[in-house]
């Protein structure tokens, strides 16, 4: 059966958009059709590089294009709610980069608007689409390793000195370790354990006022616990270890296309699973979005909107406990 061909628009052609466009080009039933930017020169350069047929010097012009089937939003966190609502109110389905918003209030408003307009909407969270995580969940749900007792998850890098006006260290752009990288290990834990019953958190702040490191302890019923560490000033890498009654699962990735998993038990030792580049990456988010559009679904089973709501609920709790704020950029009244 022939698949419906999907024409993508990209809103805000930055670094993550370049990665997305590179992988989107590998897919047969979709193409980058149009690009919208606040700079015509930047939009034209991006369109030329990635073969888009149209480019615009405003986001409004992009979402007004009747031939664009879906918009991928790649702007900074602080503008996700504003740009998502712009698309949804112009009847455009949306795949929006993480973090979906700055607060639970923003995310709920976005979800409500998508549902009111009967439009597809999904957070571009890579994790649930990756074969390593899906295989890990199957192993856990099979019961062969027994119940989970503890998970530790982390993400850290150090590329200092940092530009205080750049996205990572700028509170006005939603900068900080929590929303940029901390949500990955938090999502990993909630992917396997759900929302915590209690949590404690601490943060270390940079001179600009953003959180440059965060530590979180999460508690679940029956003595199950988990921990998260994320940092812009610690070369920790990226990983999640799941400690079960009868073995351990280790998830690792160096990039969206380079990931592997190890399962260790006393009886079998270490089994290592690797995955080809074609099986991994940001393109899996695009594939899932296109599958949903083709079948007229407004929500993904792999990355449901409730998962985004639950994640932001936990992120809000951490913000409250640590005093993280975004200098009024949380547009709770959108």
Pairing relationship of beta strands 258-265 and 248-255 according to DSSP bridges: antiparallel
Question: Does residue 115 share a domain with residue 219?
Answer: no
Domain limit, last residue, from 281, 299, 329: 281
- Please report whether residue 317 resides in a domain: no
Which pair of structure tokens corresponds to residue 163? 């530009």
Q: How many whole angstroms separate alpha carbon 118 and alpha carbon 165?
A: 38
Contacts of 169 (CB under 8 A, 6+ apart): 162, 163, 175, 206, 208, 210, 212, 232
Q: How confident is the model at residue 173 (pLDDT cuts 50, 70, 90)?
A: confident
Rounded CA-CA distance 88/255 in Å is 31
Between the alpha carbon of residue 233 and those of residues 159, 169, 212, 240, the distances in Å are: 7, 12, 7, 19
Q: What local confidence, expressed as pLDDT, does residue 328 receive?
A: 55
Digit-coded pLDDT (tens) for 87-117: 999 999 999 999 999 999 999 999 999 999 9
**Under the phi-then-psi rule, with left for phi > 0, alpha for psi from -120 to 50, and beta for the rest, what region is 333?**
alpha
Residue 145, domain member (yes or no) = yes
Does a structural domain hold residue 302?
A: no
Nearest-angstrom CA–CA distance, 232 and 169:
9
Q: Is the pLDDT of residue 7 over 80?
A: yes
Q: What's the confidence (pLDDT) of residue 334?
A: 38
Which domain does 247 fall in, by range?
127-281
User: How far apart are alpha carbons 332 and 319 in whole angstroms?
Assistant: 15
| Mean pLDDT, residues 169-193 | 95
- The residues that bridge with 205 in the sheet, in sequence order, are 211
Say whether both 96 and 168 belong to one domain.
no
pLDDT tens figures, 62-74? 999 999 999 999 9
């Amino acid at each position: 059966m022939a698949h419906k061909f999907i024409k993508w628009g990209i809103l805000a052609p930055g670094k993550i958009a370049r990665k997305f466009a590179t992988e989107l080009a590998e897919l047969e039933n979709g193409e980058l059709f149009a690009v919208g930017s606040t700079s015509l020169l930047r939009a034209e350069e991006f369109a030329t590089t990635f073969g888009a047929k149209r480019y615009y010097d405003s986001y409004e012009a992009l979402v007004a294009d009747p031939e664009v089937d879906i918009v991928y939003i790649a702007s900074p966190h602080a503008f996700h709610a504003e740009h998502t609502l712009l698309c949804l109110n112009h009847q455009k389905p949306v795949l929006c980069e993480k973090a979906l918003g700055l607060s639970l209030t923003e995310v709920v408003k976005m979800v409500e608007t998508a549902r009111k307009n009967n439009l597809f909407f999904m957070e571009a969270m890579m994790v649930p689409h990756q074969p390593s995580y899906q295989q890990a969940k199957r192993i856990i749900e099979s019961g062969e390793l027994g119940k989970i007792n503890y998970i530790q998850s982390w993400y850290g890098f150090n590329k200092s000195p940092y530009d205080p006006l750049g996205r990572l260290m700028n509170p006005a752009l939603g900068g900080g370790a929590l929303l940029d990288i901390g949500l990955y290990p938090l999502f990993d834990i909630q992917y396997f354990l759900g929302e915590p019953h209690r949590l404690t958190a601490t943060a270390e702040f940079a001179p600009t006022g953003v959180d440059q490191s965060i530590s979180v302890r999460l508690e679940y019923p029956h003595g199950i616990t988990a921990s998260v560490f994320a940092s812009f000033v610690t070369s920790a890498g990226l990983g999640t270890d799941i400690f079960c009654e009868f073995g351990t699962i280790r998830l690792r990735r160096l990039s969206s296309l380079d990931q592997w998993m190890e399962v260790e038990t006393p009886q079998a030792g270490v089994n290592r699973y690797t995955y080809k580049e074609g099986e991994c990456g940001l393109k899996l988010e695009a594939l899932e979005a296109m599958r949903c559009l083709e079948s007229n679904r407004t929500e993904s089973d792999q990355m449901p909107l409730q998962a985004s709501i639950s994640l932001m609920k936990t992120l809000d709790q951490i913000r409250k406990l640590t005093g993280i704020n975004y200098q009024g950029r949380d547009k709770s009244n959108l």
